[in-house]
Amino acid sequence: MFFHVLLLLLWSVEGSQCLRILVYNPVSWRSHQFVFRGLIRGLGDKGHLVDFYTPLPMPDPPETVNQVKLHDALEEVLATVDVHEFENCWPLRNMEINYEATSFMIQKTAITGKAFTELLSSNRTYDIVITEFTLWSEPLSYLAHRFDALNVVFTPLLDHPWTNELAGLPDNPSYMMSFQSKTNGKSFAFYERLKNTFKTFSQIFGGHRQLATRGQEIADAIMRYEGWENRPKLSEMARDAALILLNTHPSMSYPYPRAPHVKEVGGMHITEPEPLPKDLQEFMDNSPEGVIYFSLGTNVDAKAQTEQVFDVLVNVFKTVNQKVLWKVGPGMPEVKENTKIKMQTWFPQQDILAHENLVLFITHGGLQSTVEAINYGVPILGMPIWFDQFKDIEFLTSTGMGLRLNFDNITEETLSWSINEIITNPRYREQAKKRQSMFRDRPMKPVDEAIYWIEYVARHGKVLQPASVHLPFYQLYLLDIIGTIIVGLLSTLYLVRKVVRSVSSLCYKNMVQKSKKNQ
């Protein structure tokens, strides 16, 4: 009996290809960590041995997942980020703000506590190293070099020109929307294409500049281990991913071409709905006109963001026929003596969106909220604030599953009209249900697909990686070819001009000589 059990265990380990995986994610954005948790749980449930370095350890991890707590630098980062500047600055400055926030988290976790230095000096072995790509986390790619492991990158954001640049398939700005674009991506007028081209190439240029300068400096300062002096440049290492996982899907963003090693696995954090707490269940069940859910996510100071329009929101929510669940921030005033509005600092968002009486989701448009709205077929009223939220909301409104308002022009009239329009016009819910059907029509669950491709590259190496990832910038964009053609054309024109002038001069001299003879 023992022998049979032993054989079964050996067979299961070999059959499932038990991997040793390092997941290092110092980025403190809550929504990003929640997406990562879906992947970590999936890997652990399949029996892979995972060391998960995170500032936000998840509750009840699988037995094969070992969590190591990192310093949580979110509050320190938010204190330095000016949201207004972020959204209204030039693309290069926008990238610098991104870089400063992410690099601060990486450096802070490296110098706070012993977890990072102990990891670098350990004698552990890994098959796969997974890191988050959130614009300027490239120094972490050296972890794959340190442990001689395959580099797998996951980005919890929509695709970005810089992500695609590193993947070896650069954006075509004639139709691919820049990360900062606030324009409908279905058709571009000339001026919009001009702006989009400028933003796209500004982000790509800024990426190369930061990678070669500040990024390399940070990596050399904190990523020191035996043999680090002989490693490749960061510009080479950042491109050398065996697999790139994108938190996207054609149902939740515009369909664009992908490099072979880039896989769309949007929705990994989606879970089966669970029963609501008793008070919320009764609140939503006893709402014959439906429920509106309002949340600005986890990465924004809800108190500061809604301070200017708080009275507008309260007055409108009091007058609508629906009940309202309002996710608020610490320190926000309460709405007293009103049983229609329930305010809390946290709600089980997915379980609320899954309730049949939910009729509208008022959201900032963060990608995870966008994914959840699509998964549950809920129409949205978008109020984007910063980062990728404008692009997310623009996509949803272009599909017809919602409307958009900006915080700088919210009035009782515009908010009341928008809510009433979405709830009473059935086309918004119909379009949301169409998106839901597209999102769920997949051969396997997103997390299972991500795990499949991780196991695939573990078996076969970098076979999906295109040769373009190793080309220098000037070769990737054919600048050497274009330069050669231009020089060739100019040289030809110069030679033709010289020949024409020589022939003309000779002909002129002959004419002069003939004229003199005739005289």
Choice among 89-103, 125-139, 378-392, 447-461 with the minimum mean pLDDT: 89-103
Mean pLDDT of the chain: 85
pLDDT exceeds cutoff 90 at 16: no
Least confident stretch, 184-193, 359-368, 425-434, 444-453: 184-193
**For the chain, percent helix, then strand, then coil, each to nearest 5?**
50, 10, 35
218/104 Cα distance (integer angstroms): 10
For residue 11, the model assigns a pLDDT of 40
Cβ proximity of 284 and 291 under 8 Å: yes
Confidence of residue 2 (pLDDT cuts 50, 70, 90): very low
pTM (2 d.p.): 0.86
* 414-423 pLDDT tens trace: 999 999 999 9
Q: Output the CA–CA distances (angstroms, integers) from residue 414 to 25, 290, 417, 418, in the order listed.
A: 41, 20, 5, 6
Q: How confident is the model at residue 95 (pLDDT cuts 50, 70, 90)?
A: low
Task: Give the DSSP H/E element, type plus range, for residue 70.
Answer: none
What domains lie within the chain, and their CATH numbers?
21-241 (3.40.50), 278-440 (3.40.50.2000)
The pLDDT tens digits for 115-128 are 888 999 999 999 99
Whole-angstrom CA distances from 432 to 252, 360, 398, 422, 444 are: 11, 11, 12, 11, 21
Residues 305 and 327 sit within 8 Å (Cβ to Cβ): no
Kindly report which listed range (302-306, 338-342, 503-507) carries the lowest average pLDDT score.
302-306
Q: What are phi and psi of 359, to 5 degrees?
A: -110, -15
Distance set, CA 347 to CA 49, 113, 235, 288, 388 (Å):
32, 32, 42, 21, 23
- Segment 138-153 shows an average pLDDT of 94
pLDDT at 189: 82
Question: How many helices (H) and strands (E) in the chain?
Answer: 22, 13
- pLDDT tier at 6, thresholds 50, 70, 90: very low
Question: Distance between CA 203 and CA 199 in Å, rounded?
Answer: 6
Cα–Cα distance measured from residue 324 to residue 423, given in angstroms and rounded to the nearest whole number: 13
C-alpha distances out from residue 289 to 179, 323, 356, 360, 455, Å: 38, 8, 11, 11, 48
Query: What b/e sequence results for 483-501 when a residue is b if at least 16 CB atoms lie within 10 Å of its CB, and e otherwise?
Result: eeeeeeeeeeeeeeeeeee
- Beta bridge mates, 380: 361, 402
Written as six digits, the tokens of 516 are 């003199």
Higher pLDDT, 87 or 245: 245
Question: What's the confidence (pLDDT) of residue 371?
Answer: 93
pLDDT in tens, 193-246: 888 898 888 888 888 888 888 889 888 988 889 889 899 999 999 999 999 999
**pLDDT(178) > 90:** no
Given a contact cutoff of 8 angstroms between Cβ atoms, the answer to whether 465 and 261 are in contact is yes
pLDDT at residue 214, as a whole number:
84
Q: Is the pLDDT of residue 15 over 90?
A: no
Say whether 171 sits in a helix, a strand or coil.
Answer: coil
